[in-house]
């Protein structure tokens, strides 16, 4: 029997990460504004880890890593964070999306509020859902093609070393602090649509999630249904935030599964649903799954720090020159 504490535990972990990310963002804001105001901040004051918001820098860093055998020191944390998320996905489905990602946390909060308000979420027809899911894969294909095929390695390395890339984190901060009309309208619409529709950004637009989903296809852990124990109540299919028809499957292979355990946590028949390894004999206990997500993701950061691939090597003089 899956502990009824599984969902509260997942949500608590999500919110801890969200609070941590907001704190990290605020520290970075203080660093940048302090520097622009003419202060002389120490490079140590720059919170490393904000690179988690630079997925394109991470892809460029991985391409460079393949070519040189070492991680470029300008934004190494971006590579470490992406690699950690990919390893989590490879082993434990897209659980990064439902246990860690702050965007997923906010979207989940909004669609649950929408459900409380309207007593239902809008479910688009299957054919439209399939079409709407394609932009994230197209965006991912574009980035992969451009970064790994089209750009010569010299160009990749030139971009990584460029002034533009050096302060890409500060540029992103400026972008969000001074939103122009079009992005502001886009974000507001996305937030608005997140009330009636479950996870619109994650399901339809996020190329990061699309990449994790492709890695998750190879994950040994998969939601598995026991036909003999199942009482065909349909709760699992109704509660799935990405509308996987769990009741019609014996094993969920979909790249859309975000490993949230909602279906398993709310299953009405004991032993009917579990997260199982290939062979369908060994079920992963919820607490072990949760611990593995945390240990693997946080372990990536620890390995990055211990191997000297965490702290950015951008000199403080460059920050002073470029930000002023």
Residues near ligand SF4 (CB under 6 A) are 223, 225, 230-236, 240-242, 244, 246-247, 252, 257-263, 267-269, 272-273
Extract the tokens encoding 308.
């000297």
Report the nearest approach of ligand SF4 to the CB of residue 215 (Å).
Answer: 15
Distance CA 277, CA 223 (A): 9
Residue whose CB is less far from ligand SF4, 78 or 265: 265
Residue whose CB is less far from ligand SF4, 150 or 253: 253
Distance CA 230, CA 148 (A): 45
Residue 70 is given by DSSP the state S
Distance CA 243, CA 202 (A): 13
Report the nearest approach of ligand SF4 to the CB of residue 162 (Å).
Answer: 39
Q: Which residues of 135-152 are buried (b: 16+ CB within 10 A; e: fewer)?
A: ebeebbeebbeebeeebe
Q: Which residues of 197-228 are buried (b: 16+ CB within 10 A; e: fewer)?
A: bbbbbbbbebbbbbbbbbbbeebebbbbbeee
Report the nearest approach of ligand SF4 to the CB of residue 231 (Å).
Answer: 5
> Can you tell me whether residue 282 is helix, strand or coil?
coil
Residue whose CB is less far from ligand SF4, 173 or 202: 202
Residue whose CB is less far from ligand SF4, 168 or 296: 296
Report the nearest approach of ligand SF4 to the CB of residue 5 (Å).
Answer: 16
Report the nearest approach of ligand SF4 to the CB of residue 321 (Å).
Answer: 47
Residue whose CB is less far from ligand SF4, 206 or 267: 267
- Residues 216 and 260 sit within 8 Å (Cβ to Cβ): no
Residue whose CB is less far from ligand SF4, 233 or 284: 233
For the CA atoms of 300, 306, 309, 314, the dihedral, rounded to the nearest 10 degrees, stands at: 130
Q: Which helix (H) or strand (E) holds 274?
A: strand 273-276
Report the nearest approach of ligand SF4 to the CB of residue 289 (Å).
Answer: 10
Report the nearest approach of ligand SF4 to the CB of residue 161 (Å).
Answer: 40
Residue whose CB is less far from ligand SF4, 12 or 231: 231
Report the nearest approach of ligand SF4 to the CB of residue 236 (Å).
Answer: 3
Report the nearest approach of ligand SF4 to the CB of residue 105 (Å).
Answer: 15
* Helices then strands, each counted (H, E), the chain: 16, 2
Residue whose CB is less far from ligand SF4, 63 or 225: 225
Residue whose CB is less far from ligand SF4, 235 or 290: 235
Q: 208 vs 135, 202, 284, CA distance in Å?
A: 12, 9, 26
Partnered with residue 223 across adjacent β-strands are: 275
Distance CA 99, CA 259 (A): 8
Distance CA 61, CA 63 (A): 5
């Amino acid at each position: 029997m899956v502990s009824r504490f599984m969902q509260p535990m997942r949500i608590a972990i999500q919110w801890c990460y969200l609070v941590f990310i907001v704190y990290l963002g605020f520290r970075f804001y203080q660093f940048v504004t302090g520097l622009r105001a003419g202060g002389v901040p120490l490079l140590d004051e720059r919170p490393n880890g904000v690179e988690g918001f630079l997925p394109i820098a991470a892809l460029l860093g991985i391409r460079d890593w393949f070519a040189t055998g070492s991680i470029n020191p300008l934004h190494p944390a971006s590579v470490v964070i992406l690699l950690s998320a990919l390893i989590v996905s490879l082993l434990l489905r897209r659980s990064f999306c439902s246990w860690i990602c702050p965007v997923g946390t906010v979207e989940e909060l909004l669609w649950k509020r929408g459900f409380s308000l309207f007593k239902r979420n809008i479910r688009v027809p299957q054919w439209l859902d399939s079409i709407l899911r394609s932009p994230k894969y197209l965006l991912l294909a574009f980035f992969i093609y451009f970064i790994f095929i089209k750009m010569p390695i010299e160009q990749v390395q030139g971009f990584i070393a460029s002034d533009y890339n050096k302060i890409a984190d500060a540029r992103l901060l400026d972008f969000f602090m001074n939103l122009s009309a079009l992005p502001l309208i886009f974000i507001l619409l996305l937030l608005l649509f997140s009330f009636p529709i479950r996870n619109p950004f994650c399901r339809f637009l996020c190329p990061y999630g699309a990449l994790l989903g492709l890695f998750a296809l190879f994950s040994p852990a998969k939601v598995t249904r026991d036909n003999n124990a199942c009482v065909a109540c349909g709760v699992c299919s109704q509660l799935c935030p990405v509308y996987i028809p769990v009741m019609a499957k014996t094993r969920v292979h979909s790249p859309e599964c975000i490993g949230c355990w909602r279906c398993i946590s709310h299953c009405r028949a004991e032993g009917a649903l579990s997260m199982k390894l290939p062979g369908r004999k060994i079920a992963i206990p919820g607490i072990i799954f949760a611990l593995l997500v945390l240990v693997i993701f946080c372990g990536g950061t620890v390995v990055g720090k211990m191997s000297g691939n965490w702290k950015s090597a951008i000199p403080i003089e460059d920050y002073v020159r470029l930000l002023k």
